[in-house]
Amino acid sequence: MFPLAMMIVAAILFTGCVTIRPGEVGLKQRFGKLHPQVYGQGLVGYNPFVTTILKVPIRTENLEVRLNLPSEDGLNVASEISILYKVNPSMARDIIETIGSNYQQVVILSVFRSAAADVCSRFLAKDMYTASRAVIESEIMAQMSRILEPRGFVIEAVLLKSIQLPPGLTRAIEQKLEAEQVAEQMEYALQRERLEAQRRIIEAEGIRDAQKIISSGLSPEVISWQSIEAFRALADSPNTKIIITDGHAPLLIDGVN
């Protein structure tokens, strides 16, 4: 009798414990009423006859949505979008109490659909395909955060993973982008030529100024002194030379060793 009683007590104790793992919190629900305390990771004891443990994930969740987004120019753009969000641990009890465990479908997805439609309707379809995509993502995220953060949800990112535009529009955008790249390359080439022309002008002006300075310094006295120096250098040379001169400047005709 005694061993049987111990076995029953052990079974009750064993089933009256639950492990809260990393990335989740636990809530005790007794007779349908939530206990105010939120339990972090670890072992939590409870009375299995009157109490249940609700586990709420608080790690980052990835909600992937396929949605046709309206554009300002009246097109529906097929898209695949990822919403990265997580539950604020301190508000897990309020979320379960006011929304329920199906909060992803009830709140997150509903708010996203409304925010995405509102934001994308202010942009042209081509904007979702170009650099404006980051602006659209940021505005959707900001609008969701204003609504969901007070409810206990942290929106980490909204990512437009893929955009499918009508084929004709896609090709038109690609051609426009190619034309813009060609124009940028031509502008770069023109700018390079302008810089080269400026360099040549500066170089020519420098040569002109140098020649002016040299010309202004060649007085008759300087020329006469240079001629004397030239005669002196020829006189000191050991080679035989034939020199024709008018008395002012030497002209070397020939020379032999």
Cα–Cα dist 114/129, whole Å: 21
**Is the domain of 80 the same as that of 152?**
yes
What does the pLDDT read at residue 202? 86
- Residue 221 confidence class, pLDDT cut points 50, 70, 90: low
Q: Which residues constitute the domain of residue 111?
A: 61-170
**Is the domain of 68 the same as that of 160?**
yes
Q: Which is higher by pLDDT, 244 or 194?
A: 194
Q: Which is higher by pLDDT, 232 or 2?
A: 232
Please count the structural domains in the chain: 3
200 lies in a domain?
no
210 lies in a domain?
no
Interacting residues of 91 by C-beta distance below 8 A, sequence separation 6+ = 151, 152
Lowest pLDDT segment from 43-52, 133-142, 209-218: 209-218
For residues 204-224, average pLDDT: 69
Q: Which is higher by pLDDT, 152 or 32?
A: 152
179 lies in a domain?
no
**Is the domain of 74 the same as that of 154?**
yes
pTM of the predicted model over 0.85: no
- Residue 257 confidence class, pLDDT cut points 50, 70, 90: very low
Query: CB–CB of 30/50 below 8 Å?
Result: yes
The yes-or-no verdict on residue 16 having pLDDT over 50 is yes
**Is the domain of 42 the same as that of 105?**
no
The yes-or-no verdict on residue 21 having pLDDT over 50 is yes
35 lies in a domain?
yes
Angle of helix 133-148 relative to helix 109-120, nearest 10 degrees, comes to: 140
**Is the domain of 117 the same as that of 156?**
yes
For residues 72-76, average pLDDT: 79
Cα–Cα dist 40/37, whole Å: 10
**Is the domain of 23 the same as that of 72?**
no
**Is the domain of 33 the same as that of 66?**
no
- Residue 234: count other Cβ atoms within 10 Å of its Cβ: 15
Residue where a domain terminates, one of 136, 170, 204: 170
- Residue 43 confidence class, pLDDT cut points 50, 70, 90: confident
185 lies in a domain?
no
Q: Which is higher by pLDDT, 246 or 33?
A: 33
Query: CB–CB of 92/38 below 8 Å?
Result: yes
The yes-or-no verdict on residue 30 having pLDDT over 80 is yes
CATH number, residue 149: 3.30.479.30
What does the pLDDT read at residue 94? 92
**Is the domain of 52 the same as that of 70?**
no
40 lies in a domain?
yes
The yes-or-no verdict on residue 147 having pLDDT over 70 is yes
